[in-house]
């Protein structure tokens, strides 16, 4: 890992002085007054959660203010140019040239109607590379540099014909096309798998080193920044609360918010969660030779899995591995499969409609996205109460009391009872979804990527809450995640799924520390590289 000490900090490449950005319509402050400097040749991480203003700050380095916002005060100097007052023509020359940008979601940021090679050629042409041949050569060179096929055929592809990782590599190639001095990357690894993220980060480090460019890497992923950035700026509500060397992050941070962010990270050296003792051998959940299909496509192959009563097992895999499909088979939402599912030692029918009321209540499901899992037109308290009435036959009054009890248990207040889902934050909605699942008094809880749509600090709280509830209620839990480190925090055992097959399973610590399968090893490397505390 490179640290600030390895590279002598050069003169400031970027100087931001008293930058104040507000919402044009309401005057609401986005960035109150930011001052900071970015030295040449460094990778600077801009860390913060949703709404911290980190993207706005990142974009301001290109002299760009998102529509609806307005710079009220301050100045930004990049390479000696006053970015806020620069004439349009000069700004255009800088953008994509000396100062370039890598967007958050390349799938949305690549024009669907343009071949990727054509767009690259256009950017080159816009910056004075007028010879067609030279452009072609340069494009092939760039593709090779970012690890893409440098053939003409590849350049002729449309964005939708590339994978997410390839799209992001194209974006990076374009950003480094014209020997930039500064590259602003706006959450460039969101939505990528762990192993792809790591490869992308590696590439960024290499390219910026070769080009001697500074990189401003905007990310909510603190642990990722800690592995490869030189400095980290922590942003809270538009203010830089800490500006420290990445290698000494833990020692140098002073602001309580930064400490809290650090503490929220799942640590791989934590003591393992409770293992089901030998005194409780009963089976809570069992999958026997489950092969799930969508029409003629088979997505899982003879998956066998046992979870003891009161045990938590993590099902880990990347997108498309079939982990969510398996979870839906357990819950009865997906009934197109061979094999058997048993809950609390009893085989259950495949389809939810064929399961008895008691069988339905036995297993409850917490969905990935709480925005879609709560009826938008029903008060959240009523959602919880309804679940209690339906599954346990409580009266209206009893169910309301139960809803209140559960709401308070998951950390909400009495006056949230009447709120509609859109009036709550994402974390609060996920708490409600959890309360609704608990209202059925289930024995088995299936959690499908329940933290992946939440900010880091909220994620940690939800995981802690889940651990407490599992322990209190002796829940049998199937925890679906793409994150091995998170699996290790919450689950005693981990099962790794690849292309619908179980490739490895065992004690979470053993899987993490002594992986057997090649695929698990890449996952572990990814997790190790991006986690603290090893």
Site for other proteins in 292-331 (CB under 8 A): 331
Strand ranges (E), 139-257: 182-186, 214-219, 231-236, 239-245
Interface residue with other proteins, options 70, 92, 255, 528 (CB under 8 A) = 92
- 449 interacts with other proteins by CB under 8 A: no
Q: Which residue stretch of 109-117, 224-232, 398-406, 520-528 sits at the interface with other proteins (rule: CB under 8 A)?
A: 109-117
Smallest gap, in angstroms, from Cβ of residue 357 to other proteins?
Answer: 5
Q: Which residues on adjacent β-strands are paired with residue 447?
A: 366, 479
Integer distance in angstroms from the first to the last C-alpha of the chain? 14
**Cα-to-chain-centroid distance, residue 363:** 27
- 70 interacts with other proteins by CB under 8 A: no
Interface residue with other proteins, options 172, 424, 434, 466 (CB under 8 A) = 424
Query: Torsions phi, psi of 18, nearest 5?
Result: 55, 40
Interface residue with other proteins, options 205, 323, 350, 436 (CB under 8 A) = 436
Measured at the alpha carbon of residue 55, what is the angle toward residues 53 and 61, in degrees to the nearest 5?
110
Q: Which residues on adjacent β-strands are paired with residue 504?
A: 496
- 280 interacts with other proteins by CB under 8 A: no
Strand ranges (E), 143-213: 182-186
- 103 interacts with other proteins by CB under 8 A: yes
Smallest gap, in angstroms, from Cβ of residue 251 to other proteins?
Answer: 23
Q: Which residue stretch of 72-80, 142-150, 200-208, 359-367 sits at the interface with other proteins (rule: CB under 8 A)?
A: 359-367
CB 340 within 8 A of CB 288: yes
| Close Cβ partners of 521 (under 8 Å, ≥ 6 residues apart) | 515
Interface residue with other proteins, options 37, 84, 109, 503 (CB under 8 A) = 109
Smallest gap, in angstroms, from Cβ of residue 526 to other proteins?
Answer: 27
Q: What is the DSSP letter of 31?
A: E
- 333 interacts with other proteins by CB under 8 A: yes
Q: Which residue stretch of 24-32, 350-358, 395-403, 518-526 sits at the interface with other proteins (rule: CB under 8 A)?
A: 350-358
Task: Walk across the sheet containing 81-82 and list its strands.
Answer: 29-39, 12-23, 69-78, 81-82
Q: Which of residues 47-66 bind other proteins (CB under 8 A)?
A: 59, 62, 64
Q: Which residue stretch of 15-23, 316-324, 384-392, 475-483 sits at the interface with other proteins (rule: CB under 8 A)?
A: 384-392
Structure tokens at 294: 């969508």
Q: What is the DSSP letter of 277?
A: P
Residue with tokens 């899987």: 511
Q: Which residue stretch of 133-141, 299-307, 419-427, 505-513 sits at the interface with other proteins (rule: CB under 8 A)?
A: 419-427
Interface residue with other proteins, options 67, 80, 87, 153 (CB under 8 A) = 67
- 132 interacts with other proteins by CB under 8 A: no
CB 214 within 8 A of CB 182: yes
Which among 280, 237, 315, 260 has a CA at the least distance from the CA of 502?
A: 315
Q: Which residue stretch of 11-19, 121-129, 476-484, 496-504 sits at the interface with other proteins (rule: CB under 8 A)?
A: 121-129
Q: Which of residues 454-513 bind other proteins (CB under 8 A)?
A: 457-458, 461, 464-465
How far apart CA 59 and CA 54 sit, in angstroms, is: 9
Q: Which of residues 137-166 bind other proteins (CB under 8 A)?
A: 158, 160-161
Is the CB of 302 or the CB of 441 nearer to other proteins? Answer: 441
CB 11 within 8 A of CB 39: yes
Sign of torsion, CA 294 298 300 304? positive
Is the CB of 446 or the CB of 527 nearer to other proteins? Answer: 446
How far apart CA 495 and CA 480 sit, in angstroms, is: 10
Is the CB of 158 or the CB of 255 nearer to other proteins? Answer: 158
- 376 interacts with other proteins by CB under 8 A: yes
How far apart CA 279 and CA 286 sit, in angstroms, is: 18
Is the CB of 153 or the CB of 376 nearer to other proteins? Answer: 376
- 35 interacts with other proteins by CB under 8 A: no
Strands 337-343 and 283-294: antiparallel
Is the CB of 61 or the CB of 229 nearer to other proteins? Answer: 61
- 96 interacts with other proteins by CB under 8 A: yes
Q: Which residue stretch of 11-19, 233-241, 423-431, 519-527 sits at the interface with other proteins (rule: CB under 8 A)?
A: 423-431
Structure tokens at 127: 């910056």
Smallest gap, in angstroms, from Cβ of residue 289 to other proteins?
Answer: 24
Interface residue with other proteins, options 48, 317, 427, 500 (CB under 8 A) = 427
Is the CB of 231 or the CB of 436 nearer to other proteins? Answer: 436
* Cα–Cα separations (whole angstroms), residue 378 to 21, 389, 407, 423, 495: 37, 15, 15, 12, 37
């Amino acid at each position: 890992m490179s640290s600030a000490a390895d590279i002598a900090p050069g003169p400031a490449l970027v100087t931001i002085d008293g930058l104040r950005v507000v919402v044009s319509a309401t005057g609401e402050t986005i960035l109150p007054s930011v001052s900071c400097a970015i030295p040449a040749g460094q990778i600077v991480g801009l860390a913060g959660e949703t709404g911290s203003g980190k993207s706005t700050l990142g974009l301001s380095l290109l002299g760009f203010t998102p529509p609806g916002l307005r710079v009220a005060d301050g100045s930004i100097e990049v390479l000696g140019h006053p970015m806020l007052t620069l004439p349009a023509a000069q700004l255009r020359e800088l953008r994509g040239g000396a100062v370039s940008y890598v967007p958050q979601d390349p799938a949305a940021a690549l024009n669907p109607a343009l071949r990727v090679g054509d767009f690259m050629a256009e950017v080159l042409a816009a910056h004075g590379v007028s010879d067609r041949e030279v452009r072609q050569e340069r494009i092939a060179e760039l593709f090779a540099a970012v690890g893409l096929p440098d053939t003409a055929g590849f350049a002729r592809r449309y964005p939708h014909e590339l994978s997410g990782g390839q799209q992001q590599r194209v974006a990076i190639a374009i950003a480094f096309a014209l020997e930039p001095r500064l590259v602003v990357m706006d959450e460039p690894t969101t939505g990528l798998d762990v192993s792809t993220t790591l490869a992308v980060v590696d590439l960024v480090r290499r390219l910026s080193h070769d080009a001697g460019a500074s990189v401003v890497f905007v990310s909510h992923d603190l642990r990722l920044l800690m592995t490869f950035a030189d400095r980290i700026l922590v942003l809270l509500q538009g203010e830089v609360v800490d500006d420290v060397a990445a290698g000494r992050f833990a020692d140098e941070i002073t602001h309580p918010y930064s400490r809290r962010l650090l503490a929220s990270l799942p640590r791989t050296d934590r003591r393992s969660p409770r293992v089901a003792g030998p005194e409780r051998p009963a089976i809570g959940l069992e999958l026997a030779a489950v092969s799930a299909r969508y029409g003629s496509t088979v997505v899982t192959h003879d998956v066998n899995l046992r979870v003891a009563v009161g045990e938590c097992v993590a099902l880990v895999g990347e997108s498309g591995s079939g982990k969510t499909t398996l979870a839906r088979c357990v819950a009865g939402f997906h009934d197109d499969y061979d094999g058997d599912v048993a809950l609390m030692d009893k085989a259950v029918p495949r389809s939810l409609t064929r399961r008895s009321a008691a069988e339905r209540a036995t297993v409850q499901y917490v969905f990935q996205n709480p925005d879609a899992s709560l009826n938008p037109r029903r008060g959240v308290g009523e959602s919880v109460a309804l679940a209690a009435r339906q599954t346990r036959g409580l009266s209206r009054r009893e169910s309301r009391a139960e809803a209140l009890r559960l709401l308070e248990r998951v950390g909400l207040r009495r006056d949230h009872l009447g709120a509609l889902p859109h009036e709550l934050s994402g974390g609060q909605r996920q708490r409600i979804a959890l309360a609704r699942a608990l209202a059925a008094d289930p024995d088995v809880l299936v959690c499908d990527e329940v933290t992946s749509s939440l900010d880091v600090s909220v994620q940690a709280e939800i995981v802690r809450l889940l651990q407490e509830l599992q322990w209190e209620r002796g829940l049998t839990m199937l925890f679906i995640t793409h994150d091995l480190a998170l699996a290790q925090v919450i689950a005693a055992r981990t099962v790794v799924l690849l292309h619908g097959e179980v490739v490895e399973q065992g004690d979470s610590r053993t899987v993490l520390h002594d992986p057997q399968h090649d695929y698990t090893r890449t996952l572990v490397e990814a997790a190790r590289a991006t986690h603290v505390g090893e």
